[in-house]
Amino acid sequence: KAMLPNFVSGSSETLNSVHSDARALKAVADFCQHYEASHIIPSSHEMHRLWAVCSSASAAAIAAGLRGQLLPPAGGAVGGFWAPRLRALHLLEYFCWQGGSLGLEVFNLVIIKASRILHRLAEGPPLCREQAKRVLALQDLGLRPEKISL
């Protein structure tokens, strides 16, 4: 009976992880980019559904998806299109309040890697400005996964 090499025996777990990360990236992009004009500010139900999709993905993948949505679109208008960015800001706050290691790790990764973008948004269009300030205020609370026990 032949033995399988180690890298093959763990491959289904790796494939599942890659699939979960790709699914979460697409879900975050769809959430931020596709919405009804009358519902730019996401409902808690919408964010809860997305949280369920992202719960099996890595924090790094989710954070990368959120950072990508916070960036102004290439070739867009001065200041960029604000609605997808506003939705990403709401989602970032929602993830923070979900607590646990995943939600707080996503929040902290975005704060660390997108700090300049968040500060720019805090000076941007009014709705983005207020939501970016809320997110930055959460950072000031010093929320870290190891400081919160559930």
Q: What pLDDT, in 10s, does the model give residues 99-139? A: 789 999 999 999 999 999 999 999 988 889 999 999 999 98
Q: Contact, 129 vs 135, CB < 8 A?
A: no
| Rg of the Cα atoms in the chain | 17
The confidence score (pLDDT) of residue 6 equals: 46
For 12-43, the pLDDT digits (tens) are: 667 788 999 999 999 999 999 998 888 899 99
* pLDDT top residue among 145 and 38: 38
Q: What is the token pair recorded at 90? A: 């709401």
Taking residue 118's Cβ as centre, other Cβ atoms within 10 Å add up to: 21
Q: Taking 50 as the threshold, does the pLDDT of residue 148 lie above it?
A: no
pLDDT at 69: 95
Mean pLDDT on 45-54: 96
Residues whose CB falls within 8 Å of the CB of residue 121, separated by 6 or more in sequence, listed in order: 70, 85, 89, 128, 129, 131, 132
DSSP 68-101: HHHSPPTT--TT--HHHHHHHHHHHHHHHHH-HH
